[in-house]
Amino acid sequence: MKTAIINNSDLHFEHKQWKSELDFWKDEIKSFKNRLSELASRWTDKDVLAQLEHYQNEFILHSGIIEDLQVAIEKHEMNISGHSDENHESLDVAMVKNHLKFREKMETQRQIYADLKKEFFQFLSKYM
């Protein structure tokens, strides 16, 4: 069985993709928070305001998760950089396993965020 070699450049490329995606999510959340502000100024119904608060809390939570993911990517990038300085083109098994676990985290977060957006858009279409 042939062992696949994972190069630092491949991981760096994936990190860049993730960073771009996380930056996009941050911008989207800013836009969503603006929509919440608009709705808060239009509605006085307690049920609607409770839902607004729910989404506000969800966006705060997701903003924190995004920041945590960005920090984790930066740490991994620093680790890759350290290996590059030592002229190691491929990473050790533990680092690759960590990368694969992080990839799973990103995929999970991507699905959670997509579900939240879908739910939020349904809410907006009902109350905008």
Residue-level pLDDT at 86: 55
In this predicted model, what pLDDT tens digit does every residue of 97-127 receive, in sequence order?
A: 888 899 999 999 999 999 999 999 999 999 9
Residue-level pLDDT at 47: 95
In this predicted model, what pLDDT tens digit does every residue of 52-93 receive, in sequence order?
A: 999 999 999 999 999 999 999 999 888 877 765 555 555 567
4 vs 55: which has the higher pLDDT: 55
For every residue of 24-83, DSSP letters joined together read HHHHHHHHHHHHHHHHHHH---HHHHHHHHHHHHHHHHHHHHHHHHHHHHHHHHHHHHHH
Residue-level pLDDT at 80: 76
Tokens of 33: 């928070």
pTM of the model: 0.84
Residue 43 banded pLDDT, cuts 50, 70, 90: very high
Residue-level pLDDT at 67: 97
